Amino acid sequence: MLHIACPWCGLRAQSEFTYANDGTLIRPDLSNDSIDDHYNYVYARDPRRGIQDEMWRHSAGCGQFLKVRRDTLTHEIHATGAPQDDLDVPKDDRS
Amino acid sequence: MTGQVFRNGAGGRIDRTVPLSFTFDGKNYQGFQGDTLASALLANGVRVVGRSFKYHRPRGILGAGFEEPNALVQLGDGARTEPNTQATRVELFDGLTATSQNRWPSLQFDISAINGLFHRLLPAGFYYKTFMAPANLWMTYEKIIRRAAGMGRAPTQMDPDIYARRFAHCNVLVIGGGPAGVSAALAAGQSGARVILAEDNPQLSVSETELADMDNVTVLTRTMAAAYYDHNTLILSERIADHKPAPAPFETRQRMWKVRAQQVVLATGALERPLVFPNNDRPGVMLASAAQCYAADFAVRAGNQAVVFTNNDSAYGAARDMKAAGIDIAAIIDTRPEISDSTRELATNTKVLTGHAIIDVASGRGGATRGVTLKAIHPDTGAPKGSPIDIACDVVAMSGGWNPTIHLFSQSKGKIKYDGARAAFVPGQSFQQERSIGAANGTFDHEACIIEGHNAGAAAARDVGFDAPDARTSPSGIPPAAQPLWSAPTGAKRFVDFQNDVTADDIGLAYREGYQSVEHLKRYTTLGMGTDQGRTSNVNGLAIMADHRRLDIPEVGTTTFRPPFSPITLGGIAGWHTGQNFEATRQSAMSAWHEAQGATFSNAGLWRRPEYYPRTGMTPAEAVHHEARHVREKVGVVDVSTLGKIDVQGRDALEFLSRVYINNLTKLPVGKCRYGVMLREDGFVFDDGTITRLAEMRFLVTTTTTHAGPVMTHLEYLAQVQWPELDVHLLSVSEDWAGIAIAGPNSRTLLSQLFQDVDFANEAFPFMGYRETNAGGVPVRLFRISFSGEHAYELNVPADYGLNFWTALLETGADLDVIPYGTEAMNILRIEKGHVTGAELNGRVTADDLGFAGMMSKLKPFVGQVLARRDALTAKGRRQLVGLVPADGETPIPAGAQILADPDAPPPEFTPAAILGEVTSNCYSPALGHPIGLGLVEDGSDRHGDTLYAHSPITSETVAITLTNPVFVDPAGGRLHG
Amino acid sequence: MSRYSIFSLARNALTGHRNWPKAWRSPNPKPAYDVIIIGGGGHGLATAYYLAKNHGVTNIAVLEKGWLGGGNTGRNTTIVRSNYALPGNTLFYEHSLKLWEGLSQDLNFNVMFSQRGVINLAHSDGQRDAYKRRGNVMRINGIDAEYLDRDEVADMVPLLDTSPDARYPVKGGLLQPRAGTARHDAVAWGYARSADSYGVDIIQNCEVTGIDIENGRAVGVQTTRGAIKAAKIGTAVAGHTGHLGAMAGLRLPFETHVLQAMVSEPLKPCLDMVVTSGVAHAYISQSDKGELVFGGDLDFYPTYAQRGNFPRIEEVVETMLTMFPTFSRVRLMRSWGGVIDMTMDGSPIICKTPIDGFYIDGGWCYGGFKATPGSGWVFAHTIANDQPHELNERFTLKRFETGAVIDERGAGATAHAH
Amino acid sequence: MVDLNLSRSALDGVFTQGAFGAAGDPGVTLSERRGGALLDLSTGDIDATRRAIATQFGVDLPTKSGRTATGDACRALWTGPGHWLIKTAPKPNLERAWADAARNSAVNDVTHGRIVLRIKGPSARDILAKGCPLDLHPTAFPTGACAQSLIGKINVTIDCLDADEFDITTGRAYAKSLWAWMTGAAAEYGYRVE
């Protein structure tokens, strides 16, 4: 069972969370009406055998979405943060 | 103590003051408190306890614990019966009943043993090569195969017992209560760390009062560590009441622990390997450690005269203990050409034949062992040579070396490695926060185990910040005894996997046919696929395959160790959450009232909703029609509490909603509602509902019952992740407000009577209007919206008042003839009005398909807008919402029918049948007096007036239907607006 | 190929089964082939077999990174059915089912296709109608289907809880009598043996590490056993299609997820059908060995690790015991996980790609095993003719761009809800 | 005219008082808490909101996750970043007053949408651990801690009032299921209902 460090609530069990989406997806701007750009947002994915950023939700906790950097080969979690956080920046240095 | 002829008068860990009666295959026996079923059977001289899977050969007890492949019994009967139970792990209790398995008609005479005669026709994988002709007979063959397979019988009555699960957290979890594990738990416990120690046996191997006195240490006995998952989560299965005839009242039978441990210490011990030689499955052939265990722990002699057969030193200790218990050791047969002096000292006064091996086991009555034949073996090749020697015996105690129990280590993703000196796989690099110690780590020396345990326990505690005792120095340099693997190179029926009847020849056949990878070997021969999961067979099987392939064992590889370590009950895994408790149930504030009226219920997500209220003298259908008709004629109330309700507040609430609904909302004033539709990002319709502007910056939006959760998640995702700059606060208030719809011509009068301070006149409170009032101190929200198509309102009150308002409406409206109606009537009313719900909102329709194109704002961007423009979503030929009426005006439209032009068209070959559409909803319309339906039909909007067929071959119904406008009742909306 | 039969078995018994030939050769890779199939599971081997048998293409290598059938072929719950509702799926899966019906004889290898019937339980009126709707599509397309009422279900599945006050009462069920189960490993072995007999090179322990593309055309692969050239390259690598696609520079509408399955200890026959429940996702059958075989939903997070976690096992077992309460004292023997390509509409992709000579067969979501023969058959057609068969012309990558998705569950563009 | 102001608990008629389950000293006492008000507070401006709440309720909203703060007749539970559950004596029109006054924040009166169960006794932590994945050891979840988590499959807010005393808040519609879970879990320890 995974244990995920919610950036707000601390380390919690997998059953409190739901996986939401690829964590790198940025929705096209509202003014953007390109079908291609929306296709890429909605459908295209870059599979990562290894470390990838994901969006999860602490659905049975604080309800917040969080970014999770996780290894898809080992299930190790290397970092978590708020949705807008850059996980490359160490936690203490994030604004 | 009659009958326990193989029990010694003294010794062992049993309590002779507590005699216990039990039955096996209907026969009565006696044992003692502290016995296992296996030890008690052996004490009574019961040798044959089961039949093998394929050849139905008689089998006896091989081991003394987890490793047991043969002695599987059907435990108990009736509701508490339990198949495939290892007799070696069943604690004896008074009144225990057990039955042997996989034999018919009896254990002594098993018809299927005839399979043994045809064994030449039944090599590994024989079924892949035969039973193919004639093709239509396979299902018959299969029935016979199925009947022959299986083992125990599943219970057919409800399990009366209670199972529980629980979570636990600790700093250090120690698995295994042997010397190493206890030592580790002590060291970790002394540091103050929170420690859990789990041991499968009823007691720890060493009595340890210091451990028991530590508040920070939890000792769980009768607890098997079943699985090791990610992030140091382990599953433990605790047997609380299995050693009793039945649990006490309210007592839990088994408790499954889900432990999150910061550090784990695995002290899971080692299991002995059998040796592979002809007829090594005869009852009486057992593991040396098992014979030793029965002698030492249970004071049971496994037989009268034993031959010990070994390739390593450990069996000499077993021989000593067996001899001490009174078993005559006829000889120790050692495959090694030489043994050390210290080893030989252990066998003083016992005949030792080195460089020899057993090449056959003779059987007597019932198949039990009565002697062995030996030969000298070639020191390099292991091939038998010279003349045979016969020795009479009724026990063969064999030892092929030891396998560290690395299952949990392997499950933890630790890398295992082959240790040639120990001839075994041992833990290599750990992956998680884990340490393996003691025999599980290939350390077999008692003192070394204790020190290794101490050091691991202390280090684990130190790693999580506790001040733990210092490491002790291990008496290193104790070499493991040389234990070359040995198996007889030839001879019939050399069993490798006892439970699945896999022989060395089967492995040879797999090799010759190319099933050489370990996984192919396993799958082709079924090696290691029994309930014991290959505990006694895997390494021997690998060694034989390696030998064929002329590879070293590690080059052959191993199969993956899958959870659970040893089988665990399904009841224990599910705990509370089965049957009625499978999932939570959501109830509205009026649920109890509906129940009291005898309503039937249906599930909508987790909610239970009343379908209709029975009426005396009416069939269910008549009652439903009555409710629907009554709403059109008078007034009815329906519980709509289950609709999703989301409170949306903030400076940007309007902007946010404009982005997620297709509607233009900028002109929605405070005090008004609007019907709204949401698309998914992919452009298809997601959900519909109403949007009400409660205040300048506050909205209440509703969702369908089943989509409430997904819609909330969707909105939160957008608000939190994609548009964090918007000031918007979302809260699900579905359960805060009870919802009641009041529908029908009399609804206005009814509400006017109840809320006298509200002006219900059309101008003051028009269709799609919203009003708030306060009734006796209770805040009330009134919406003039309609799902039924009638003049109607929805009323929201804080949920605790819901039941009171419901009954108040019924009381107040008694003169107006108000009745309650359920979801069935509601469904009829909305079909009559052409309103869509689940079957139409099927996740594959566009807004245009449902006739909502006009709602789609062109003035602003919204979610789904762009991908809704894709070719396939805008092409001609899409299915559109239509009304359906039977062409003859009376035949019911079959539910789930498909709509075609030609119901007699033959089935196609490669191009899908020409189906034009489907019936999505259907009912009898009391308002119209005939059946109606809704459907999605290709270009349906252009086909009004066409006649097609609603074709339902699955119910043998075909009905000519005419396509119409989907709004059957009041298409002009006079009732709504009036 | 030496023929298998009761007679050959008897003949070989006389020589102690010492003379059985290898089921397939283990050749070293040649420098070049007409076609390379990446993936030595059921789909890849079936593709090679049908390329040889139906299209006369025999200069083929099947490259397998591990052991044959070690991916999802050997990890599934062995259910075979064709009870689909949407055009594209219906006839494709039915064609596959028809191939299953003759497969043991075609391959001369008993794949133990057991047509014991699959029942989908309906737990509400809405679900009942939906199953009828699906059953009608099947019947109109010439596929067998029957609607059972509650009592008929209870007769066929006596241990199922069909009481009206159950948490999710059984209202009825959709039965496909010709559906059933098969022996999963045997399918890979049977195809391997037959493909081998046509001269197909089956190369195990050969992992593809790169796809060579020249001028927009795939010309070969890099492997752990060297570079191999080929005129055409097809992938059939359940769970890893996205990864291989990325090697060729394609971004695909996939996520890779783990699906767990499990078996109980073996029991005497007590469940004769395959039973699936629609409310709580679960499917259960009993193997010929007597084990109850069951599974449910994904673990619901992307992963390439063939291991799942316990919460899903708990939920599947909860569901199973809610359906079959008397199995409470039966024990779980083994659980495992397989990784699967989840597409954004739940339906597979079998098509040419924008790269000439590079074809993909993937996106099987939960359902790849039953598709094995059909998938191989149409994929072989697609590779041989450089255009799809009618049966797979809808299974394109393009459909996500145009919106012509095949979304049986109506769950939309998510890769883990189908 | 009927009396409309009649509030009913979701657990009306669901339980009776008395001792149940295993014999002996009860492991816990279960009871429903009613009478107070519950407010859900969400803000994008934490400082301003804390000032406003301090003025209105005399409680200093906790900003650390999993913490509670107690004022005169009020208890505030941290339920998320910028999010609190405030338990207080009923005050009229809080929600409306707030909506008119505050910006970049929202208040909802959720008194009637939730139920609160109290579990108290030596077995309380063991019982909760049967369904709650939190580490409930007193060192990890001490008096004054709160958390949102699961019990069984039901979302709950757990408020640790004392060493062996907890208030469990959940959605009103789940009341019966949570009650069934609690009593089912407590039966092996014995429990009293008050």
Residues of A with Cβ-Cβ distance to D133 under 8 angstroms: 12-13, 15-16
Lowest average pLDDT, out of A86-95, B68-77, B477-486, B852-861, goes to B477-486
User: Which tens digit of pLDDT belongs to each residue from B569-609?
Assistant: 999 999 999 999 999 999 999 999 999 999 999 999 999 99
Q: How many angstroms separate the CA atoms of C17 and C4, rounded?
A: 13
pLDDT tops 90 at residue A46? no
Pick the CATH number of D18-35+113-193 from 3.90.25.10, 1.10.268.10, 3.10.20.30, 3.30.1360.120: 3.30.1360.120
Amino acid, res. A13:
A
The answer to whether B844 faces chain A, any CB pair under 8 Å, is no
Q: List beta partners, residue B638.
A: B741
What size, in residues, is chain C?
418
- Please classify residue B651 by burial: count the beta carbons closer than 10 Å to its beta carbon, then call 0-12 exposed, 13-18 middle and 19+ buried: middle
User: Residue B586's closest CA among B784, B732, B793, B795?
Assistant: B732
Q: How many angstroms separate the CA atoms of B61 and B58, rounded?
A: 11
| Nearest CB partner across the interface for B720, out of A3, A30, A83 | A83
Phi, psi at B554, each rounded to 5°: -65, -25
- Cβ neighbours around D70 below 10 Å, total: 15
Place of tokens 């399979």: B115
Distance from CA of C342 to the nearest CA of B (A): 17
A partners (3+ CB pairs within 8 A) are B, C, D
- DSSP code for B766: -
| Average confidence score pLDDT of chain B | 94
User: Which tens digit of pLDDT belongs to each residue from B213-232?
Assistant: 999 999 999 999 999 999 99
pLDDT tops 80 at residue B486? no
Q: Can you give the pLDDT at residue B26? A: 95
Q: Average pLDDT in the D63-72 region?
A: 92
Backbone dihedral region for residue B222 (phi beyond 0: left; psi -120 to 50: alpha; all else: beta): left
Domain with CATH 3.50.50.60 in chain B: 161-272+402-482+570-582, 275-399
pLDDT band at B209 (very low <50, low <70, confident <90, very high): confident
The answer to whether B256 faces chain D, any CB pair under 8 Å, is no
Q: How many angstroms separate the CA atoms of B885 and B896, rounded?
A: 15
Q: How many angstroms separate the CA atoms of C200 and C52, rounded?
A: 8
- Interface contact flag, A19 C300, Cβ < 8 Å: yes
Tokens (6 digits) for B374: 């030996």
Residues of D with Cβ-Cβ distance to B169 under 8 angstroms: 135, 137, 140
| Average confidence score pLDDT of chain D | 92
- DSSP code for B719: I
pLDDT tops 90 at residue B21? yes
User: Which tens digit of pLDDT belongs to each residue from D6-61?
Assistant: 999 999 999 999 999 999 999 999 999 998 899 999 999 999 889 888 888 889 99
- Interface contact flag, B736 D172, Cβ < 8 Å: yes
Inter-chain CB pairs, A–C, below 8 Å = 66
Q: Which residues contact B792 (CB under 8 A, 6 or more apart)?
A: B741, B742, B743, B744, B747, B784, B785, B786, B976
CATH topology of domain B161-272+402-482+570-582: FAD/NAD(P)-binding domain (3.50.50)
Q: Can you give the pLDDT at residue C281? A: 86
What size, in residues, is chain B?
978
In the three-class reduction of DSSP (H, G, I as helix; E, B as strand; rest coil), residue B161 is classed as coil
- Interface contact flag, B231 A1, Cβ < 8 Å: yes
pLDDT tops 90 at residue B482? no
Q: How many angstroms separate the CA atoms of D53 and D43, rounded?
A: 11
- Cβ neighbours around D18 below 10 Å, total: 9
User: Which tens digit of pLDDT belongs to each residue from B87-125?
Assistant: 999 999 999 999 999 888 888 888 887 777 778 888 999
Q: Average pLDDT in the B931-958 region?
A: 98
Residues of C with Cβ-Cβ distance to B681 under 8 angstroms: 412-413
| Nearest CB partner across the interface for B717, out of A3, A26, A65 | A65
Q: Can you give the pLDDT at residue D102? A: 57
User: Which tens digit of pLDDT belongs to each residue from B648-686?
Assistant: 999 999 999 999 999 999 999 999 999 999 999 999 999
DSSP calls for A19-85: EEEETT--PPPTT---HHHHHHHHT-B---SSEEEEEEE-TTTT--EEEEEEETTT--EEEEE-TT-
Report domain B485-551's class: mainly alpha
Tokens (6 digits) for B252: 């839990």
- Interface contact flag, B129 C26, Cβ < 8 Å: no
- Please classify residue D29 by burial: count the beta carbons closer than 10 Å to its beta carbon, then call 0-12 exposed, 13-18 middle and 19+ buried: middle
User: Which tens digit of pLDDT belongs to each residue from B528-539?
Assistant: 999 988 999 999
Q: Which residues contact C344 (CB under 8 A, 6 or more apart)?
A: A42, A43, C253, C254, C400, C405, C413, C414, C415
Domain covering D37-111: architecture:
2-Layer Sandwich (3.30)
- Interface contact flag, D44 B168, Cβ < 8 Å: no
The answer to whether C403 faces chain B, any CB pair under 8 Å, is yes
Domain annotation for chain A: domains and CATH numbers: 3-23+36-81 (3.30.2270.10)
Pick the CATH number of B275-399 from 3.10.105.10, 1.20.140.10, 3.50.50.60, 3.40.50.300: 3.50.50.60
Report domain B1-159's class: alpha beta
DSSP-H helix ranges across B568-723: 570-574, 591-596, 620-633, 653-660, 708-717
Percent of chain B with pLDDT over 90: 88
Pick the CATH number of B644-733 from 3.40.50.20, 3.20.20.70, 3.30.70.1400, 3.30.450.20: 3.30.70.1400
Tokens (6 digits) for B971: 């298409």
Q: Can you give the pLDDT at residue D98? A: 67
CATH topology of domain B877-977: Elongation Factor Tu (Ef-tu); domain 3 (2.40.30)
Q: Can you give the pLDDT at residue D182? A: 98
Residues of B with Cβ-Cβ distance to A19 under 8 angstroms: none
| Nearest CB partner across the interface for B870, out of A26, A35, A83 | A35
Q: Can you give the pLDDT at residue B978? A: 86
Task: Supply the Cα-derived Rg of chain D in whole angstroms.
Answer: 17
The answer to whether C312 faces chain A, any CB pair under 8 Å, is no
The pTM (predicted TM-score) of the whole model is 0.97
- Cβ neighbours around B901 below 10 Å, total: 13
Place of tokens 């809405």: C126
Q: How many angstroms separate the CA atoms of B706 and B704, rounded?
A: 6
| Nearest CB partner across the interface for C407, out of B578, B844, B897 | B844
Residues of C with Cβ-Cβ distance to A22 under 8 angstroms: 255
Domain with CATH 3.10.20.440 in chain B: 1-159
Q: Can you give the pLDDT at residue D58? A: 85
Amino acid, res. B61:
I
Domain with CATH 3.30.70.1400 in chain B: 644-733
**Max alpha carbon distance in chain A (Å)?**
42
Closest residue in chain B to residue A83, using alpha carbons only: B721
Q: How many angstroms separate the CA atoms of A14 and A6, rounded?
A: 11
User: Which tens digit of pLDDT belongs to each residue from B335-386?
Assistant: 999 998 988 888 889 999 999 999 999 998 888 999 999 999 998 888 899 9
pLDDT tops 90 at residue B14? yes
- Interface contact flag, D81 A64, Cβ < 8 Å: yes
C-alpha dihedral, C78 to C83 to C84 to C89, nearest 10°: 60
- Each domain of chain D, given as residue ranges in start order, spans 18-35+113-193, 37-111
pLDDT band at C83 (very low <50, low <70, confident <90, very high): very high
Q: Which residues contact C125 (CB under 8 A, 6 or more apart)?
A: B602, C171
pLDDT tops 70 at residue B840? yes
Q: How many angstroms separate the CA atoms of B721 and B236, rounded?
A: 39
CB distance B128 to C189 below 8 Å? yes
CB distance B86 to B72 below 8 Å? yes
Distance from CA of D70 to the nearest CA of B (A): 24
Q: Average pLDDT in the B427-454 region?
A: 95
Tokens (6 digits) for B920: 């999505």
Distance from CA of C219 to the nearest CA of B (A): 31
In the three-class reduction of DSSP (H, G, I as helix; E, B as strand; rest coil), residue D193 is classed as strand
| B128-158 CB burial, b ≥16 within 10 A, e <16 | bbbbbeeeeebeeebeebbebbbbbbbbeee
- Pairwise pLDDT comparison (C189 vs A92), residue with the higher score: C189
Q: Can you give the pLDDT at residue C353? A: 96
Q: Can you give the pLDDT at residue B1? A: 41
Domain with CATH 2.40.30.110 in chain B: 877-977
Task: Supply the Cα-derived Rg of chain C in whole angstroms.
Answer: 21
| Average confidence score pLDDT of chain C | 96
pLDDT tops 70 at residue B38? yes
Q: Which residues contact B952 (CB under 8 A, 6 or more apart)?
A: B894, B895, B896, B897, B898, B958, C132, C136
Q: Can you give the pLDDT at residue B476? A: 57
Closest residue in chain B to residue D188, using alpha carbons only: B250
pLDDT band at D90 (very low <50, low <70, confident <90, very high): confident
| In B641-743, beta strands by DSSP E | 644-649, 673-679, 685-695, 698-703, 729-732, 737-743
CB distance B282 to B363 below 8 Å? yes
Q: How many angstroms separate the CA atoms of D98 and B698, rounded?
A: 12
Q: How many angstroms separate the CA atoms of B908 and B21, rounded?
A: 69
pLDDT tops 60 at residue B481? no
DSSP calls for B43-60: HTT----EE-TTT--EE-
Percent of chain B with pLDDT over 70: 99
- Interface contact flag, A8 D81, Cβ < 8 Å: yes
- Interface contact flag, C280 B582, Cβ < 8 Å: yes
pLDDT band at B614 (very low <50, low <70, confident <90, very high): very high
Backbone dihedral region for residue B501 (phi beyond 0: left; psi -120 to 50: alpha; all else: beta): left
Query: Helix C184-197 vs helix B518-525: angle between axes, to the nearest 10 degrees?
Result: 110
CA angle B365, B368, B370 (to 5 degrees): 85
Task: Supply the Cα-derived Rg of chain B in whole angstroms.
Answer: 38
pLDDT tops 60 at residue B140? yes
User: Residue B299's closest CA among B721, B52, B4, B12?
Assistant: B12
| CA distances from residue B489 to B276, B277, B381, D193 in whole angstroms, order as listed | 9, 8, 9, 71
Domain with CATH 3.30.1360.120 in chain B: 586-642+735-821
Q: How many angstroms separate the CA atoms of C399 and C345, rounded?
A: 10
User: Residue C303's closest CA among B350, D68, A51?
Assistant: A51
| Nearest CB partner across the interface for B736, out of D3, D9, D113 | D113
pLDDT band at B298 (very low <50, low <70, confident <90, very high): very high
Distance from CA of B578 to the nearest CA of A (A): 18
- DSSP code for B503: E
- Interface contact flag, B867 A55, Cβ < 8 Å: no
Domain covering B586-642+735-821: architecture:
2-Layer Sandwich (3.30)
Task: Supply the Cα-derived Rg of chain A in whole angstroms.
Answer: 14
User: Residue B881's closest CA among B809, B825, B794, B942?
Assistant: B942
pLDDT tops 70 at residue B475? no
C partners (3+ CB pairs within 8 A) are A, B
In the three-class reduction of DSSP (H, G, I as helix; E, B as strand; rest coil), residue C393 is classed as coil
Phi, psi at B507, each rounded to 5°: -65, -40
Tokens (6 digits) for B693: 């502007």
The answer to whether C318 faces chain A, any CB pair under 8 Å, is no
pLDDT tops 60 at residue B261? yes
B partners (3+ CB pairs within 8 A) are A, C, D
Residues of C with Cβ-Cβ distance to B515 under 8 angstroms: 23, 189
Q: Average pLDDT in the C356-380 region?
A: 97
- Interface contact flag, B568 C332, Cβ < 8 Å: yes
CB distance D100 to D113 below 8 Å? no
